[in-house]
């Protein structure tokens, strides 16, 4: 008898529910992790005395074929495949027959999925570390070859003090170096193996978990089986990491968007990373940078979304946890592309040192003028005031600071002498900032060496 509520309810599961429940459409990208996890598990089963060496070999080879089918795109998904775990096991059974039915002994999709995600993410960490390094390499290469150029440095987006263009580039490298270190710090916390936790209470077949750990190259084993299947903190940490990197990328993008405007004209993006307007022929838009800035919001959404999902999930596995995958995949995919695009933007953009130079104005040396008087023995608070008066005097006289005569300056302080003209050089100004982390040539080169040393590690 058909169900009273009939209609679209044809099978035991509502097709809408089936679609709602499936995760294969996105977790299939973990096919290799799933195969590797299962091959290791089969070895464990041999040692636990559950299957024979022969059966393990059959499973191993069958899984190699499953892997190959995914790789060459011939894996055929069937309706009943709910996720990557069920799909691979179903296919394995088709290939090797009944031995496949022993693979899942003592294992649950709960410890399996947590394992797969960690394997998958560890590979991502390697990919992303390499991309971060490439980005840093490209950026310091520019910093090195363009070290001569001086530009305005800004606070409050108001011209503040002259800096080397390379100093600006290295300021962003500083953030990316921290990101690289942070990513590497994350590794041992991802590399914790939950396999052998079973559904929640542990494996009942004397599974040698240390063997699984060795097989899969993990740093450690999860402490407790209930936590093992429930723990998604490593994903939350990864998503924080991606968010933080995107924030850094976004701030750099914002700087470059501003610098590429006609009003600034410090940089021009290459055509490869900009687009034109469909109506205004004169326009060249920094779309790449705007997308980088925009995608930051998206990745932040992945991060907060996962934390919201985790909040309130009762102990061990609950299906809510399936919602951990899409944010992880999305953030990983987005950050990977973002790093590639940013690297492309930085390596191909043109800079316009003449416009940087033209934007330097004498008033940006007002601090240097105050410091000149400090060197003549006047306390800084007084010299700050005197230099401020000089700025006002120049403004009132409608001339630039450097055009004030020695007499005019001496009317503000008798300590001004002929050598004050040396203050009005942007080169001198940057070269004076010769401390570790400063903008002098030596200090900038030193920063480049520091970055190189990190990259070589």
Cite the active site residues: 156, 277
Binders of ligand ARG among residues 109 to 138 (CB under 6 A) are: 109-110, 113
Residue 154: CB atoms within 10 A of its CB come to: 14
**Residue among 120 and 266 whose Cβ is closer to ligand ARG:** 120
Residues in the chain: 457
Task: State in angstroms the smallest separation of the CB of 88 from ligand ARG.
Answer: 12
**Residue among 324 and 371 whose Cβ is closer to ligand ARG:** 324
Task: State in angstroms the smallest separation of the CB of 184 from ligand ARG.
Answer: 27
317 makes contact with ligand ARG (CB under 6 A): yes
**Residue among 114 and 131 whose Cβ is closer to ligand ARG:** 114
Of residues 145, 176, 157, the one with CA closest to residue 257: 157
**Residue among 31 and 317 whose Cβ is closer to ligand ARG:** 317
**Residue among 113 and 409 whose Cβ is closer to ligand ARG:** 113
From 147-155, 186-194, 278-286, 314-322, span contacting ligand ARG (CB under 6 A): 314-322
Task: State in angstroms the smallest separation of the CB of 351 from ligand ARG.
Answer: 48
Return d(Cα 154, Cα 264) in angstroms, integer.
12
Binders of ligand ARG among residues 389 to 408 (CB under 6 A) are: none
**Residue among 322 and 359 whose Cβ is closer to ligand ARG:** 322
From 183-191, 317-325, 381-389, 413-421, span contacting ligand ARG (CB under 6 A): 317-325
Task: State in angstroms the smallest separation of the CB of 323 from ligand ARG.
Answer: 8
Return d(Cα 42, Cα 55) in angstroms, integer.
8
Output the six-digit token pair for 355. 């416009």
Task: State in angstroms the smallest separation of the CB of 259 from ligand ARG.
Answer: 44
CB–CB of 390/366 below 8 Å? Answer: yes
From 181-189, 279-287, 313-321, 434-442, span contacting ligand ARG (CB under 6 A): 313-321
Task: State in angstroms the smallest separation of the CB of 30 from ligand ARG.
Answer: 9
Task: State in angstroms the smallest separation of the CB of 108 from ligand ARG.
Answer: 7
The strand pairing partners of 161, in sequence order, are 153
Binders of ligand ARG among residues 323 to 382 (CB under 6 A) are: 325
From 62-70, 127-135, 318-326, 394-402, span contacting ligand ARG (CB under 6 A): 318-326
**Residue among 83 and 371 whose Cβ is closer to ligand ARG:** 83
**Residue among 109 and 209 whose Cβ is closer to ligand ARG:** 109
Pattern 46-85, ligand ARG, x by CB under 6 A: -------------------------------------x--
198: left (phi over 0), alpha (psi -120 to 50) or beta: left
Binders of ligand ARG among residues 92 to 111 (CB under 6 A) are: 109-110
Of residues 441, 457, 455, the one with CA closest to residue 177: 455
Number of residues this chain uses to bind ligand ARG (CB under 6 A): 11
HSE-CB for 394 with a 13 A CA cutoff: 20
Output the six-digit token pair for 276. 């034109």
From 33-41, 246-254, 280-288, 321-329, span contacting ligand ARG (CB under 6 A): 321-329
Task: State in angstroms the smallest separation of the CB of 39 from ligand ARG.
Answer: 19
Task: State in angstroms the smallest separation of the CB of 292 from ligand ARG.
Answer: 30
First to last CA, the chain: 70
**Residue among 30 and 364 whose Cβ is closer to ligand ARG:** 30
Q: Which residues contact 48 (CB under 8 A, 6 or more apart)?
A: 106, 205, 206, 207, 208
Return d(Cα 374, Cα 100) in angstroms, integer.
82
Which residues of this chain interact with ligand ARG, rule CB under 6 A?
23, 27, 83, 109-110, 113, 317, 319, 321-322, 325
């Amino acid at each position: 008898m058909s169900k009273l509520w009939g209609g679209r309810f044809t099978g035991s599961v509502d097709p809408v529910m089936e679609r709602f429940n499936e995760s294969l459409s996105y977790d299939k990208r973990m096919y290799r992790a799933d195969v590797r996890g299962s091959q290791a598990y089969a070895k464990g089963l041999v040692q636990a005395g559950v299957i024979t060496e022969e059966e393990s070999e059959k499973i191993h080879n069958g899984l190699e074929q499953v892997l190959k089918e995914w790789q060459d795109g011939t894996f055929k998904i069937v309706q009943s495949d709910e996720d990557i775990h069920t799909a691979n096991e179903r296919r394995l059974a088709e290939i090797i027959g009944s031995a496949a039915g022993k693979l899942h002994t003592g294992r649950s999709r709960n410890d399996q999925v947590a394992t797969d995600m960690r394997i998958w993410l560890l590979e991502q960490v390697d990919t992303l570390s390499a991309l971060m390094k490439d980005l840093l390499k490209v950026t310091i290469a520019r910093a090195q070859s363009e070290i001569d150029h001086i530009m305005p440095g800004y606070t409050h987006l108001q011209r503040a003090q002259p800096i080397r263009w390379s100093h600006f580039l290295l300021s962003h490298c500083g953030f990316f170096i921290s990101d690289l270190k942070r990513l590497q710090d994350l590794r041992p916390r991802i590399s914790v193996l939950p396999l052998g936790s079973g559904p929640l209470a542990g494996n009942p077949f004397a599974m040698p978990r240390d063997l699984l750990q060795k097989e899969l190259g993990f740093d450690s084993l999860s402490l407790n089986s209930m936590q093992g299947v429930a723990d998604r903190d490593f994903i939350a940490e990864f998503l924080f990491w991606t968010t933080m990197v995107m924030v850094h990328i976004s701030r750099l993008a914002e700087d470059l968007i501003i610098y590429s405007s006609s009003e600034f004209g410090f940089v021009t993006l290459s055509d490869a990373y900009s687009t034109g307007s469909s109506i205004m022929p004169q326009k060249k838009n920094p779309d790449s940078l705007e997308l980088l800035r925009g995608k930051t919001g998206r990745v932040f959404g992945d991060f907060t979304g996962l934390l919201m999902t985790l909040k309130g999930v009762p102990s061990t596995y609950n299906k809510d946890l399936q919602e951990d995958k899409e944010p992880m995949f999305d953030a990983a995919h987005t950050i990977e592309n973002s790093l590639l695009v940013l690297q492309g933007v930085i390596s191909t953009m043109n800079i316009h040192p003449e416009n940087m130079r033209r934007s330097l104005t004498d008033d940006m040396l007002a601090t240097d003028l105050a410091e000149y008087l400090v060197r003549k023995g006047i306390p800084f608070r007084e010299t700050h005031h005197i230099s401020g008066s000089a700025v006002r005097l120049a403004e009132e006289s409608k001339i630039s600071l450097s055009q004030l005569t020695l007499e005019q300056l001496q009317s503000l302080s008798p300590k001004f002498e002929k050598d004050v003209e040396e203050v009005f050089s942007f080169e001198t100004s940057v070269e004076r900032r010769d401390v570790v982390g400063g903008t002098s040539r030596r200090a900038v080169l030193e920063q480049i060496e520091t970055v190189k040393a990190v990259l070589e590690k």
